[in-house]
Each structure stands twice: as structure tokens, then as C-alpha cells.
Structure 1
């Protein structure tokens, strides 16, 4: 591995810090200063006449679990993976930057789903199941004149903070927050844990994470905090946010193999040289004659023979200038440097930080 200058480190972490702080400030502003929409109600609507109950899991516990559990899991998982790949210990700077980036993506996704959910909650202003008990409206629902029509003009005499919460039925932000956290680390487990020895253990972990999110959603219905439709939409928002974060950071993108113009990375004899990187789906195994056999058995021209200075990516050939890592363009010189470093460390099949 190679040393990184302070300017490179700053340019790498600064966008992550800005995204985290920006999304957090927007979420905080919505919660603190924006009031929910005031809607009318129907006295005959039994869905808003439930009694208020104490929450099975408090808001503080949910928040700490939604943020703390994924953070600890990410740190532990990345540490185990680095230790297994390099028992002598990874480069501390590179490891810290990769770890920070993974956590930053999670926090940004978490803040964004919280912002979207809170915004929908404030715009809709849908009453919660315990709305009438919390609001204590200054109208008599037992009066036939009031009971027979939709009430638009009324005033709530209950506690203001409780009334504000009672207007946030759509959608369940706590469900979406926990779903975002659990689905994110479930996807991270799928991508990172590629060890055959723990196949069943990986499935169990993913099942456990999803079950936690389902339990939180069910508790919101049991506690009369939300209707079941609000919880389902919370699941959808959290899942969509996690999947979008995973694809935005190219988790499911296969590794990239760079062919150096000055370094022959392929063997000179007829015997195939196969490394861990070549064994992954989508890569060709190169032979001396200038042709390669793909996993499906078809014969294709060898990249060494025809495509020097180009990149083999998912069976497609693209110019070196299109190789990017975290949205940054790499020059041909940087790609050649990466190839030389990869030749020195053939077992490390992850892209190096530039």
C-alpha cells in the first residue's frame, strides 16, 4: 500500500462530512420549526378513537439502536474482513478511510430517509389512532349536529406537544429508520461476507436484522401509534433508501481489472494463472495464445493482445479515462500505478484508494 498525503485525505473525507451535516441540518430544521398540517376529523371515525398507550420501545432507545447497532456492526465487520485478508494488519490510513466512507454512506442515507419521512408526515398531517384523546377538541361529539358531519373548525385543548405528535400518523418514521438501518447492514453482510464457511451464519444474520425491523413496525401498530398502512409505507421507504445507497456506492459492481501497458500481468506459458480476482464471475482466464475462455466456455480475444491500456469491466472494454472511484476520474498514469500495485499484491482484489 502507499502513503496518502493530508490533502488527499481531506479531499476524500470532506464530501462525506458535508453530506452528513447537510442532511442532518435539514432534518433538524423540519422537526424544530415546521408545524404539521391541521386536518379535520369525523367523530364517527373509530380509527382515531383509540386510547393512548406507552410505547413498547421508547423513542430514545429506537434512535440509539438505529444508529449505534449498525455503526458497531460495520466497524466489527470491516475489521474482521481486513484481518482475514491481511493477518499482518492492514494499512491504517486506508482502512480508516474505507471504514469512514461506509459509515458516512449509512448516516447520509439515514438522514435522508428521516427527512423524507418527516416531510411527508408534516405535509399530510394525518391523525394518529389516539388523536381524539390527545387533542381533546372543544366540540361535543355526542351532539347529533356535530356527529353527523365532518368537523373542520375546532381547537385542541390538550398538551401542545402531544397534539403535534398526534398529527403525525403518516408515515411511520421510526419504522422507516429501523428498516433503513437493518436492511443496510443486511446488504452489507451480503456483499462483504463471501466466506463459504459461514454461509448459514450469514443467512441467519440477515434474517435477524429483518426481523428486528418487522418487530419495530408491529410494535408501532400495537402501541396505537400508527395504522398498519403507515407502517407498511415506512418499510417501503426504509428498504428503498438502503437499496439506493447500496447501488449509489457500487456495492454490487464487480471488481475492475486494469491492464498495464508496461507490465505483463499474464503468464508466459500455457498454464493458466488464476488469482482470486480472476475467479469472480465476469472475468476471463488468459492463456499464452492470446485467447481466453470465459466462464461460459466461449473463446474471446485476450485483452493482453488487443486491449493494452484499456479496462475489462463486466465483460466490457472501456477506456482508462472512464475508470472512477467515488466519482473521481482517474488518469491513465493513475491506472498504471494501480496495476503495478495490484501486481505486487495479487491476492488483494479490492480497488486501491488513490
Structure 2
């Protein structure tokens, strides 16, 4: 019976992730963004089009690869040090503790990543904010006969640009999904190694890795502004949402209380906070 429960939990995990992934894919492929108008004198949407240096695929693959490699390396190391959860028999097969822990961590990370990307992209299609390169991509021609264009705000216009996919993408500025995922991955990585990695060989190595994660996410966000893909406020909103999603996922999905938190996060037997550092 216990084996059946474990198998069903794994199956349900994959079903949930598949449903979320399919929903995100359907949104990106088939949804149409809100057709927002523009102000004639709005200079913020008249910047030239530039090719992006960090694509969605590259960012996603890099984020997941780093998290998976880090998780496996840390859990194998902890297992060899005797700090793991121990092996377990499932369906007559011995499953190493490091593999179970890696599955739980990567699963939680994936769930949070897909969830925050779905919500972030949903916001893009609902808001329909124009990107800084909208004018260059769309090349809008206002309908002079429309009563909707009697004032400075143009609502009825035709895009004369040749690339329809770019025109559609030019309406998806807020919030920045790149910035959201990059900081989500960075904050989750920071929390994970803060809790799991305990090495006395160097006091600064762990914090250097955490700083590098933040630096990478910061670069991704800045590149979106420099390359005229987003307004600065889009990036700021993406950063805020990504960081919040990472903390909520780490605390309430991964549940770090099961992983031996630092002493300063624990309480003594009388319920008082123990402020000592390890």
C-alpha cells in the first residue's frame, strides 16, 4: 500500500506539472494580446528594434541546468557525509536518498517556475502594454475617419509592418517574463544553498555563488531595457514577482523546515529563538 501511494504521488506530480505546462504553452501559442492604443507623442515606444541576446530557450535551459546540477551535486555530497535522508525500498528497488531529495527539490523548482511564468504571461496578454520598439515593429497608420482617433490617443490604426509575429510580441511588454524567471531562479538557488550547503572551508564561497546568481539575473533584466524589449517598470515588476514566487515556492512547496535549517532559524525547547550561528 505504501508503495502504491508513492507511485501515485509521483504520477500526480507529473500530471499537475503537465497541466500547468500545457496551459502555459496554449497561452503563448494561441492567445491574442489586448489591442492597446497609443499616444501620438509617446516617445517611449519609438525606440529601434534590436535582436535579443538572451532568448527564452537559452534562459530556461541555463536556469534549469544550473539548478539541477547544483541539486544533484549537493545531495550526493550530503549523502556521502551521512546528512541525507537515507535509502528507501520502492517496488523492490533501492532508491538512494540523494535521488529522492533531488526529485523533491527539482520538482518544487519546476512547479514554481511554470506557475510564475503562467501568471506572468497571463498578465502580458491581459494588459497588452506596448514595448519600447512598438513603433518600429508595427509602423502604425491611424484611421483618420475613426471617431476613436479624434484626440491624442490613437485607438484605431493599422500595423503596416511585415512580421506579424513581431507585431504580436510588441504588445507583450508588461511584466517582463525574462526578469521574472531569472530572479526566481536566482532567489531559489540562493535559498537552497543557504539551507543545504554547510562547508567550513571558506566563509565566502557560498555567498560568492549567491552573488553570482543575483548578478546574472540583474544582467538579464538590464539587457531587456538596453535591447528595447521592456520599459524599466516592466523589469522591476518582473523582478518583484519572480523573487516573491521563489520565496513562496521554497517555503511552502519545498518546505525547508524538513532540511535542517541553520540554528539561527530554529527555536529552542522553551520556544525562544536561538540566535547562535553554526
Question: TM-score if structure 2 supplies the norm length?
Answer: 0.84
Contact 2:27 2:122 in 1 (8 A): yes
Matched residue SS, 2:50: coil
Structure 1 residues 280 and 63, CA gap change in structure 2 (3 angstroms): closer
Contact 1:172 1:230 in 2 (8 A): yes
Which ranges in structure 1 are unaligned for 5 or more consecutive residues? 257-276, 285-293, 297-313, 316-354
Of the structure 1 ranges 217-226 and 89-98, higher mean CA displacement relative to structure 2 is found in: 89-98
Matched residue SS, 1:196: coil
1:205 counterpart = 2:190: no
CA positional deviation for 1:90: 5.4
Q: Which residue of 2 aligns with 1:231?
A: 235
CA positional deviation for 1:140: 9.0
Distance 2:185 2:265 in 1: 29
Structure 1 residues 12 and 254, CA gap change in structure 2 (3 angstroms): closer
Distance 1:128 1:224 in 2: 7
Give the structure with the higher percent helix: 2
Contact 1:43 1:147 in 2 (8 A): no
Q: Which residue of 1 aligns with 2:91?
A: none
Structure 1 residues 98 and 34, CA gap change in structure 2 (3 angstroms): same
Distance 1:255 1:178 in 2: 25
Matched residue SS, 1:138: strand
CA positional deviation for 1:6: 3.8
1:181 counterpart = 2:148: no
Once the two structures are superposed, residues 287-323 of structure 1 have per-residue CA deviations (whole angstroms, 9 ceiling, x without a partner) of: xxxxxxx697xxxxxxxxxxxxxxxxx99xxxxxxxx
Structure 1 residues 14 and 138, CA gap change in structure 2 (3 angstroms): same
Q: For 1:170, which of 161, 165, 174 is the aligned residue?
A: 174
Q: Which residue of 2 aligns with 1:113?
A: 116
Which ranges in structure 2 are unaligned for 5 or more consecutive residues? 89-93
Distance 1:249 1:60 in 2: 25
Q: Which residue of 2 aligns with 1:48?
A: 45
Question: TM-score if structure 1 supplies the norm length?
Answer: 0.67
1:14 counterpart = 2:17: no
Distance 1:188 1:198 in 2: 18
CA positional deviation for 1:12: 3.5
Distance 2:259 2:66 in 1: 29
Structure 1 residues 86 and 38, CA gap change in structure 2 (3 angstroms): closer
CA positional deviation for 1:205: 0.9
Higher normalized contact order (CA 8 Å, seq sep 6+, divided by chain length): 2
The 5 A counterparts of 1:210-225 are: 210-225=214-229
Structure 1 residues 244 and 133, CA gap change in structure 2 (3 angstroms): same
Matched residue SS, 1:57: coil
Structure 1 residues 105 and 278, CA gap change in structure 2 (3 angstroms): closer
Q: Which runs of 4+ in 1 moved over 6 A?
A: 277-280
Q: State the aligned residue count.
A: 261
Distance 2:66 2:59 in 1: 10
Distance 2:112 2:231 in 1: 25
